[in-house]
Amino acid sequence: MYPWFAFGHLTPFLQLANKLAKKGHKISFLLPTKTLSKLQCTFPFLHLIMTAVDRTESDIEVLLRNLKPDVVFFNFTYWMPRLARRLGVKSIYYCVVSSVTIGYIMSPARQPSGKKLTQADLMQPPLGFPDSPNKLKAHEEEGYIARRVMKFGSDVVFCDHAIGFRTSREIEGPYADYVGNQFDKPVLFSGPVIPEPNTSTLEEKWSTLLGEFKANSVIYCAFGSECTLEKDQFEELLLGLEFTGMLFLAALKPPAAYEMMSLHLKVGVEVEKREDGLFTKEAVFKAVRTIDVRTNRAKLRGFLSSKSLESSYISSL
């Protein structure tokens, strides 16, 4: 496996590798020898990461010739399909981003010859896209347009033999099928690939604190490492949570977008945002206080954590 050198990509690849290894597959995980969990890249040099990855092609070729794998899982390395084909190895583009996002933004239907993609184009889904409540706001369109024209290493192709998604057919089937049809490639599902539950003992201070509250009475808020809020939004979010009068734990990184399954699967609650992407403390309070989907949420949690579900998808790979 040769993932992109960012922990948001390394971690899903590692989790899939562990699941496949449990099924008896021999996995080789390729990454820099000095990659550490606490490594922080300084911002000015981030644009050089892909260039550095491009220059590992000859090293990876030597490894693949020695390892003689059946399949290579990769993402972002445009030269991997060509290299794998030359060595007689199958290659799978394993995508850690949802098929909804890939289909909406990266679909070939978005790339008519000779026409430059505009923000207005992104207001509507591409031709043939499954019915969806997804719609980009103005500030989101600007970000996606910028990324599409950004020079990325030596350029990237999307896939080779197949496309793999870190999801299940039950959740993203129509969107994954759309991506497969657009790129004329078979689509494989790994399932949610949920890591094993942490069996370590909770720190005493947290155990004591949480033990004072009833089940489902504490709010946990986390947007993920990709989301960096502006100062005013950070404050509005926390004030909104405080406004609920409930204990809350917020794991936040001081960003702009997150994905939800609230409309199709009726789990979670969407905080109302203005066209510019901003939300208010009143909107946060309203969202938390109007949660009425705990039954659906519990069903989805049980579905995603089902051992038989995950095992069936891993075995099918």
Give yes or no: residues 104 and 176 share one domain: yes
For residue 42, pLDDT over 50 is answered with no
Among 195, 216, 239, where does a domain finish? 195
In a domain, 307, yes or no: no
Three-class secondary structure of residue 221 per DSSP: strand
Give yes or no: residues 29 and 62 share one domain: yes
In a domain, 313, yes or no: no
Give yes or no: residues 210 and 166 share one domain: no
- Report which of 228, 225, 226, 209 is spatially closest to residue 217, judged by C-alpha positions: 209
- Report which of 243, 278, 235, 237 is spatially closest to residue 257, judged by C-alpha positions: 278
Q: What whole-number distance in Å separates Cα of residue 112 and Cα of residue 51? A: 28
- Say what the pLDDT of residue 72 is: 94
- Report which of 183, 181, 165, 157 is spatially closest to residue 82, judged by C-alpha positions: 157
Give yes or no: residues 94 and 117 share one domain: yes
Give yes or no: residues 186 and 242 share one domain: no
Give yes or no: residues 165 and 136 share one domain: yes
- Report which of 221, 224, 218 is spatially closest to residue 237, judged by C-alpha positions: 221
Give yes or no: residues 168 and 31 share one domain: yes
Lowest mean pLDDT among 153-157, 192-196, 276-280: 153-157
When divided into structural domains, the chain yields a total of 2
For residue 255, pLDDT over 50 is answered with no
Give yes or no: residues 104 and 248 share one domain: no
Phi–psi pair at 212, nearest 5 degrees: -85, -5
In a domain, 219, yes or no: yes
Give yes or no: residues 189 and 265 share one domain: no
In a domain, 309, yes or no: no
Give yes or no: residues 62 and 114 share one domain: yes
Q: What whole-number distance in Å separates Cα of residue 56 and Cα of residue 77? A: 10
Give yes or no: residues 138 and 45 share one domain: yes
pLDDT digits (tens, 9 = 90+) for 54-113: 888 999 999 999 999 999 999 888 889 999 999 999 999 998 888 998 888 888 888 766
Q: What whole-number distance in Å separates Cα of residue 116 and Cα of residue 77? A: 25
Q: How confident is the model at residue 294 (pLDDT cuts 50, 70, 90)?
A: low
In a domain, 2, yes or no: no
In a domain, 184, yes or no: yes
Give yes or no: residues 190 and 289 share one domain: no
Q: Which domain holds residue 155?
A: 7-195
End-to-end CA distance of the chain: 14
For residue 179, pLDDT over 70 is answered with yes
In a domain, 110, yes or no: yes
Beta-carbon contacts of residue 178 (< 8 Å; ≥ 6 apart): 99, 103, 107, 128, 129, 130
Q: What whole-number distance in Å separates Cα of residue 212 and Cα of residue 34? A: 43
Q: For residue 15, what is the domain's CATH number? A: 3.40.50.2000
Output the DSSP codes for 181-235.
HHHT--EEE----PPPPP-SPPPHHHHHHHTTS-TT-EEEEE--TT-B--HHHHH
Whole-number Cα distances in Å, 282 to 178, 179, 206, 287, 293? 38, 38, 28, 9, 20
CB 247 within 8 A of CB 213: yes
Q: Which residue has the tokens 């926390």?
A: 238
In a domain, 37, yes or no: yes
pLDDT above 90 covers a percentage of the chain that reads 16
- Between 306 and 91, name the one with better pLDDT: 91
Q: Which two tokens stand for residue 190?
A: 């790994």
Taking all residues of the chain, what is their mean pLDDT, rounded to a whole number?
76
Q: How confident is the model at residue 196 (pLDDT cuts 50, 70, 90)?
A: confident
- Say what the pLDDT of residue 85 is: 92
